[in-house]
Amino acid sequence: DAGFGDAHAGKEELYHLATDPHELVNVAGLPEHAATRGRLAEAADAWWQNTGGRDFAWYESDTFRNNQHNTQ
């Protein structure tokens, strides 16, 4: 299991959640995790495209929340 954080824009974060559940050791820069970083970056890019380029703040906005209430 891996966690890929983007809380600090511009800084990649990757944690081995099975051995580091508190996310204390960032392994993003280690060469043995290059494939995982690439796979997660591709997934993040696909998510960005599929959501119309909206960031997490959009999903916390009143506009989004109001639209959700209107469609349920």
Those residues whose C-beta lies under 8 Å from the C-beta of residue 13, and which sit 6 or more positions away, are 3, 4, 5, 6, 7, 23, 26, 28
What is the tens place of the pLDDT at every residue in 12-69?
A: 899 999 999 999 999 999 999 999 999 998 998 898 888 887 777 877 888 888 887 6
Burial class from Cβ neighbours inside 10 Å (0-12, 13-18, 19+) for residue 27 reads: middle
Beta-bridge partners for 13? 5
The pLDDT value given to residue 2: 53
The pLDDT value given to residue 70: 59
Q: Which amino acid, one-letter code, is at 33?
A: H
Structural domain boundaries in the chain: 2-71
The pLDDT value given to residue 67: 80
Tokens 């051995």, residue?
Answer: 19
